[in-house]
Amino acid sequence: MEKALKNAFGGSVDDCLDVSGKGLTCVYFKEVLAFFRRINLSNNHLKSVKSLVPYLLQCKELKLDGNHISDDLGDLSGLQALYIY
């Protein structure tokens, strides 16, 4: 995750955070997610993402496939433009 964040904040401005296939079981430093419009968390070992929702205010695409999500995302009323797949 640290390497992906360094790459994301390093070189050119890119609005995508791609930490797919990194073996993640949880996401630390969730506040960093607030800076990205596209977030790829696919193909990890995540079981819950409900705690991420408050940090997804800028996010338009959230990719979660290939995880074992066992909860719903809760209240998404402030995230009308969010596309989850």
State the average pLDDT over residues 47-52. Answer: 88
Residue of 70 and 63 predicted with greater confidence:
63
Per-residue pLDDT band at 48 (split at 50, 70, 90): confident
Q: Name the token pair of 59.
A: 């996010």
Q: Give dist(CA 4, CA 62) in Å, integer.
A: 16
- Residue 84 pairs in a beta bridge with 62
pLDDT, position 38:
93
More confident residue, 49 or 43: 43
Nearest alpha carbon to residue 18 among 51, 79, 62, 68 = 62
Residue 12: is its pLDDT beyond 50?
no
Q: How many of the other CB atoms lie within 10 Å of CB of 53?
A: 19
Q: What are phi and psi of 49, to 5 degrees?
A: -130, 5
Give the pLDDT score at 49.
86
